[in-house]
Amino acid sequence: MKILIATTNKGKLREFKSLLSQINIETLSLDNMKEKIEVEEDGKTFLENAIKKAKEYASFYNIPVIAEDAGLEVEALNNYPGVYSARFYDIDFGGKEEIVTNKDEANIKKLLRLLEGKNNRKARFVSTVVFYSQKDFGLWTEGYCYGEIAKEPRGNKGFGYDPIFIPEGYNKTMAEISPEEKNRISHRGKAVRKLMEKLKKVL
């Protein structure tokens, strides 16, 4: 069986491929598809966005899809960046941040600026994963990874906010641990393992 992993984020794709390698499915990514479509992520929740992506890609490419919406929720910032995680640097909350090298770096810079002087640095990563077959059948799961925001970025593994996220029980950031260990404890690892259990029962 072939399933399209509906993401263009290379970090996410790498993690999905590794996590899904344990079941017998062939994965394709959006880069494998000749015709491109844009799906606007305008939902108010991770679930709304993930369902929208899964349904639109499944009906356009006529193939089962796994889509994910993920992000970082910071307690002291009213759970922002949340669904705005990918473009936090550019939204109307706490001032905009200029891109100097890349978006991830601008997002991190803004988050650290907004947390300056705050004692509460608690945060969690959320991953909402949706499987949608083009035959009107869907499943979804969610995974969380709790931790806190570091004072400065450390490490060069992973992607996104990994260099400033210290998982609970660790003194390293998510960008300082191996990809295998990240998959074991991450929001995405937890959500995908739950999804695989459900998929095994129906596929």
Residues that bind ligand IMP (CB under 6 A): 9, 41, 68-72, 85-86, 107, 125, 158-162, 186, 188
Which strand (E) or helix (H) includes residue 2? strand 2-5
| Long-range contacts formed by 113-118: CB under 8 A, 24+ apart | 114/77, 115/74, 115/76, 115/77, 115/149, 118/76
Smallest distance, Å, CB 65 to ligand IMP? 14
Interatomic CA distance for residues 116 and 138, integer angstroms: 42
The answer to whether 93 touches 83, Cβ cutoff 8 Å, is no
Question: Which residue out of 69, 90, 92, 104 is catalytically annotated?
Answer: 69
Smallest distance, Å, CB 13 to ligand IMP? 11
N-to-C CA span, the chain:
9
Interatomic CA distance for residues 140 and 121, integer angstroms: 29
Q: Please give the residue whose beta carbon sits closest to ligand IMP in the complex.
A: 160
Interatomic CA distance for residues 200 and 186, integer angstroms: 21
Closest to ligand IMP by CB, 113 or 200: 113
- Concerning whether 69 is annotated as a catalytic residue, the answer is yes
Q: Sign (positive/negative) of CA torsion 55, 67, 82, 8?
A: negative
Closest to ligand IMP by CB, 123 or 135: 123
Closest to ligand IMP by CB, 103 or 203: 103
Smallest distance, Å, CB 86 to ligand IMP? 4
Closest to ligand IMP by CB, 43 or 203: 43
Smallest distance, Å, CB 51 to ligand IMP? 13
Catalytic (active-site) positions: 69
